[in-house]
Amino acid sequence: MLKIRLQRIGRKNDPSFRVVLTDSKNSAKSGRFLELLGTYNPKVSDKKLRTSFYNDRIKYWLSKGAKLSDTMHNFLVHDKAIEGKKVNVLPKKKPTQKKKELKAKK
pLDDT tens digits along 55-65: 999 999 999 99
pLDDT at position 24, please? 86
50 domain residue, yes or no: yes
Overall domain count for the chain: 1
Does residue 87 lie in a domain region?
Answer: no
- Please state, in angstroms and rounded to a whole number, the distance separating the CA atoms of residues 62 and 6: 16
Which pLDDT does position 73 carry in this prediction? 95
Residue 97 is assigned to a structural domain of this protein: no
DSSP state of 43: T
Q: What CATH number has the domain bearing residue 69?
A: 3.30.1320.10
Q: Give the model's pLDDT for residue 95.
A: 66
**Three-state DSSP state, 17:** strand
Q: Which pLDDT value is given to residue 47? A: 80
Which residue numbers in the chain have pLDDT < 70? 95-106
The confidence score (pLDDT) of residue 29 equals 78
The domain in which residue 27 lies consists of: 2-78
pLDDT at 86: 92
Q: What's residue 25's pLDDT?
A: 86
pLDDT at site 89: 87
Residue 90 lies in a domain: no
Count of C-beta atoms within a 10 Å radius of residue 9:
14
Number of C-alpha atoms within 13 angstroms, CB side, residue 10?
A: 15
Residues paired with residue 38 on neighbouring β-strands, in sequence order: 19, 53
